[in-house]
Amino acid sequence: MASHVVIDRTAKLVVIICASASFVVLGAIFVFTLREGMPAFQEIGLSNFLFGTEWRPGLGMFGILPMTVGSLLVTLGSMVLAIPVGIACAILLAEVASFRVRRILRPAIELLVGIPSVVYGLVGMMLIVPLVREIGGTGFSVLSASLVLMAMVLPTIISISEDSLRAVPKGYKEAALAMGATQWQMIWHVQLPAARSGIVAGIVLGMGRAIGETMAMIMVIGNAVVMPTSPLSPARTLTGNIAAEIMYAAGTHRSALFATGVVLFLLILVLNTVATFALKRGIRSQHVA
């Protein structure tokens, strides 16, 4: 009995240490980025940096609003496209498809996770950009970037959503079917609400992947520092701005790129917090109803 207690306490201590290490690493990254970016905030001014519309390092102009809008539009566009497709694929794999079909589709979806982002960018340049060009513009646009990002975040949303749907107790489904519900009614009114927390977690992770993607965005979005006015407009993301200029930046320019990283860090934190709050509010309202 004593040995089991020692093993349990040791396992608990190891888990606590590993979890704490992740927070320490996260905090160290944020502190380092903030330290390097603080001179830019002090010299440029927080308001000018966040809401300025001109990014011209040679002229001392460092406004990241166009890149912030570009990042948000691309993330929003990709999630609008990916969420319904991802949830539908998860339902297919969890409840509708036969074992033979699942055995083919699941490895294919898992394979998408391991494809490098530069390959997604190449495919986007050769296939998606020419198709968007037929609609209007140069093809290098927010729409092209959103379509590429949709393919990149789908595996995350599908995998986590499928696991969440499979984790719903069988008693829930059997009770709904016993009361005369059809399979679709059972999925829509019982299984999806029960798996909501896991589905939202997959969406949040996919959103983090979307807003943090760099290489594929540089290749298909046009990489122009302009305020996007439509889905067919070129743009630049916050991550693309850092990757494109960090190699030759110096002085205030370099500090401004680190400050961009701080803004990106906080933006991801805000988006995750909003999604979590919306999830808790939805669950609370469901229980009240």
Q: What is the pLDDT of residue 186?
A: 86
Q: What is the pLDDT of residue 128?
A: 92
Q: What percent of the chain has pLDDT over 90?
A: 20
Residue 268 has which token pair?
């991801």
Distance CA 38, CA 2 (A): 53
Most confidently modeled of 116-130, 158-172, 272-286?
116-130
Split at pLDDT 50, 70, 90, the class of 146 is very high
Q: What share of the chain is helix, strand, coil (3-state, %, to 5)?
A: 80, 0, 15
Q: What is the pLDDT of residue 279?
A: 62
In order, the DSSP letters of 3-54 are HHHHHHHHHHHHHHHHHHHHHHHHHHHHHHHHHHHHHHHHHH-HHHHHH---
In this prediction, residues 78-90 reach a mean pLDDT of: 91
Distance CA 137, CA 220 (A): 13
Split at pLDDT 50, 70, 90, the class of 280 is low
What one-letter code names the amino acid at 282? G
Q: What is the pLDDT of residue 148?
A: 93
What one-letter code names the amino acid at 29? I
Q: What is the pLDDT of residue 172?
A: 81
**Residues 169-223 pLDDT 10s:** 888 888 888 888 788 888 888 888 888 888 888 888 888 888 888 888 888 998 8
Contact 50, 65 (CB under 8 A): yes
Contact 221, 144 (CB under 8 A): yes
Mean confidence (pLDDT) of the chain: 85
On the question of pLDDT at 282 being above 60, the answer is no
Domains of the chain in sequence order: 67-288 (1.10.3720.10)
Q: What is the pLDDT of residue 288?
A: 45
- Residue 54 main-chain phi, psi, to 5 deg: -115, 130
Contact 260, 243 (CB under 8 A): no
